[in-house]
C-alpha cells in the first residue's frame, strides 16, 4: 500500500510540473483522479519505472524553463500504516474471487513552491549623451515675386526663298565719245567763220572768241559763249548787248591773275561780277567764272573771291581754268586739285603743250600730250569741256607754232585732225 501511495505521489508531482501554468488549487483537486488513472493504466509498470519517468520528465522541464525546484524529493511523506488482510488461498473453483474494494487514496501532500530563479545582475546605466546645441533657425527666404507669364512664342515666319544673285553691273568706261571739244578762234584768224565751221568735228562742244560779239555769218546751229574780257569791254559798252536770248552761257574776265591780260584785284573782280554777270543769272544764263592760269596765285585769287563774295561764288556754274606746260600728269593733278577744293565742274578754256625755253618742240611730243590729256578729260565727269590753243596759222603770244591746228586757209592740219577725231 505504501508503494502505491508513493507511486501516486510521484504521479501527482509529475502532473503538477506539466501543468505549471495552472493554479495550484486545480492541481490538488485533480490529483486523486490523475493518480488513479496512472494506477489503472500503468499497473504493469514497476515503481522503479515510474520513478525513472518522473525524474526524466522533471529534468526535461528544468532544462526547458531554465530553473530548478528546491526541496522536491521523490519519496512521499509517510502516511498512516494500514495492515492489509491476507489474501485468501486459491481455490480449485474456477469461479474468480471477488476483487477487494479499493482503498481510499490519502490526500496528496502539497508540493513545495518552487524557488524563484535568481535575477540577473543589473546592467550599468550608460552615461547620458550631451544634448547637442540647437541649430540656428535659418532666416526665411524672401518669397520671389511672381514672374510674368512668358509671351507666347510666335510662329516662325516662313523662310523666304533667296533672291537670285544679280549679275554685277558692268564697270562704266570713260565717255571717250562725249562732245567736249570746243574751238577758240578770234578776229585775227584767217577767215574766222570758215575756221570755226571747218573745225566743227563729231565731238564738237562750243565756240568762243574772247569777245562779246558773235561772228557774222556763223551758222545758227553753232553755240557761242560771249566773254567779258576786261575793262575795255565795259568801257566800250560792248557788253550791253549781252541780254536775254543772245546766248545761253556768259564768261567772266580773262586771266585776272596775269599781267598783260585782264589783271585785276579781287575786289574789282567782285564788283564786275555783281554789276555785269550776276544779272544774267536771273535771265537764264549759265555763268563761267573769271579765268586764271596755273600760276600759284591763280588758286589763291579764287579763294579770296569766294571769301569776299560768297553769294557771287554761289552763282558760278563752271570754273574757267588755263594750263600751259609739257607734263600731262601735272596737268591732270592740277585740275583734280582745283576741283577738289572748289567742288564744281571745270571748263579748260585754254591748254597747250608749251616749253617757254624751247620754242620748237618735237611734233610727236605735242601730239602725245594732246591725245593723253584729251582721253583723260573725256573720262572725267567734272570736266565739262575744253579748248585747245590754238586755231591760228601763225601762233600768237609766244606759243610754239607746233601747237597750231589749222592751215593757212583755216582747214585742220594733221594736229587739227587729231584734235577733232582722236
pLDDT of residue 417 exceeding 90, the answer is yes
Q: What is the pLDDT of residue 54?
A: 43
pLDDT beyond 80 at 327: yes
More confident: 163 or 189: 189
Q: Position of cell 571748263?
A: 347
- Close Cβ partners of 267 (under 8 Å, ≥ 6 residues apart): 308
- Distance, in Å, from the CA atom of 332 to the CA atom of 171, rounded to the nearest integer, reads 22
Higher-confidence position of 161 and 38:
161
| Residues 354-409: tens digit of each pLDDT | 988 888 999 999 999 999 999 999 999 999 999 999 999 999 888 999 999 999 99
The stretch 308-314 carries a mean pLDDT of 95
Q: Which triple of cell numbers denotes residue 377? A: 578729260
Cell of 401: 607754232
Question: Looking at the predicted structure, is the pLDDT value of residue 147 above 80?
Answer: no
Q: In whole angstroms, what is the distance from residue 135 CA to residue 116 CA?
A: 51
DSSP state of 260: T
Closest alpha carbon to 288 in 229, 204, 373, 222: 229
Question: What integer is the mean pLDDT of 91-105?
Answer: 45
Distance CA 210, CA 251 (A): 9
More confident residue, 172 or 265: 265
Give tens-digit pLDDT for 331-350: 999 999 999 999 999 999 99
Task: Please write the tens of the pLDDT for every residue from 273-302.
Answer: 999 999 999 999 999 999 999 998 999 999
Instruction: Name residues whose C-beta falls within 8 Å of residue 25's C-beta, 6 or more positions apart in sequence.
Output: none
pTM of the model: 0.60
What are the grid coordinates assigned to 137, written together? 533657425
Using the Cα atoms of residue 75, residue 76, residue 80 and residue 83 in order, give the sign of their dihedral: negative
Closest alpha carbon to 305 in 322, 294, 293, 292: 292
Average pLDDT, the chain: 75
- Neighbouring CB atoms inside 10 A of 369's CB total 21
Q: What is the rounded distance in angstroms from the CA atom of residue 112 to the CA atom of residue 110?
A: 6
* Beta strand segments in 263-318, E: 286-288
Amino acid at each position: 500500500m505504501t508503494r502505491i501511495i508513493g507511486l501516486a505521489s510521484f504521479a501527482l508531482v509529475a502532473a503538477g510540473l506539466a501543468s505549471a501554468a495552472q493554479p495550484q488549487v486545480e492541481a490538488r483537486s485533480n490529483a486523486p483522479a490523475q493518480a488513479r488513472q496512472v494506477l489503472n493504466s500503468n499497473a504493469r509498470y514497476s515503481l522503479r519505472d515510474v520513478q525513472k519517468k518522473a525524474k526524466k520528465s522533471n529534468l526535461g522541464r528544468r532544462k526547458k524553463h531554465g530553473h530548478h525546484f528546491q526541496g522536491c524529493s521523490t519519496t512521499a511523506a509517510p502516511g498512516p500504516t494500514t495492515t492489509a488482510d491476507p489474501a485468501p488461498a486459491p481455490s480449485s473453483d474456477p469461479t474468480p474471487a471477488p476483487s477487494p474494494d479499493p482503498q481510499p487514496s490519502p490526500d496528496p501532500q502539497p508540493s513545495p513552491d518552487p524557488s524563484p530563479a535568481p535575477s540577473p545582475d543589473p546592467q550599468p546605466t550608460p552615461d547620458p549623451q550631451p544634448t547637442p546645441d540647437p541649430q540656428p533657425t535659418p532666416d526665411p527666404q524672401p518669397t520671389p515675386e511672381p514672374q510674368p507669364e512668358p509671351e507666347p512664342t510666335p510662329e516662325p515666319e516662313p523662310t523666304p526663298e533667296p533672291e537670285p544673285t544679280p549679275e554685277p553691273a558692268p564697270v562704266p568706261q570713260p565717255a571717250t565719245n562725249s562732245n567736249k571739244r570746243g574751238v577758240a578762234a578770234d578776229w585775227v584768224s584767217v577767215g574766222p567763220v570758215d575756221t570755226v565751221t571747218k573745225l566743227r568735228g563729231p565731238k564738237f562742244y562750243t565756240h568762243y572768241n574772247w569777245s562779246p560779239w558773235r561772228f557774222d555769218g556763223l551758222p545758227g546751229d553753232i553755240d557761242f559763249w560771249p566773254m567779258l574780257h576786261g575793262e575795255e569791254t565795259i568801257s566800250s559798252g560792248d557788253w550791253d548787248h549781252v541780254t536775254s536770248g543772245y546766248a545761253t552761257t556768259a564768261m567772266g574776265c580773262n586771266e585776272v591773275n596775269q599781267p598783260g591780260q585782264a589783271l585785276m584785284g579781287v575786289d574789282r573782280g567782285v564788283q564786275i561780277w555783281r554789276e555785269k554777270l550776276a544779272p544774267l543769272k536771273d535771265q537764264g544764263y549759265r555763268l563761267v567764272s573769271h579765268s586764271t592760269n596755273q600760276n600759284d596765285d591763280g588758286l589763291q585769287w579764287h579763294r579770296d573771291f569766294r571769301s569776299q563774295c560768297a553769294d557771287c561764288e554761289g552763282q558760278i556754274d563752271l570754273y574757267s581754268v588755263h594750263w600751259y606746260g609739257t607734263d600731262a600728269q601735272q596737268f591732270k593733278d592740277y585740275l583734280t586739285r582745283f576741283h577738289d577744293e572748289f567742288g564744281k565742274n571745270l571748263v579748260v578754256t585754254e591748254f597747250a603743250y608749251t616749253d617757254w625755253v624751247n620754242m620748237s618742240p618735237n611734233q610727236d611730243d605735242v601730239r602725245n600730250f594732246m591725245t593723253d590729256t584729251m582721253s583723260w578729260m573725256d573720262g572725267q565727269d567734272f570736266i565739262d569741256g575744253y579748248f585747245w590753243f590754238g586755231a591760228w596759222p601763225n601762233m600768237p603770244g609766244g606759243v610754239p607754232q607746233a601747237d597750231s591746228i589749222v592751215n593757212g586757209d583755216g582747214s585742220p592740219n594733221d594736229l587739227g585732225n587729231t584734235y577733232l577725231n582722236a
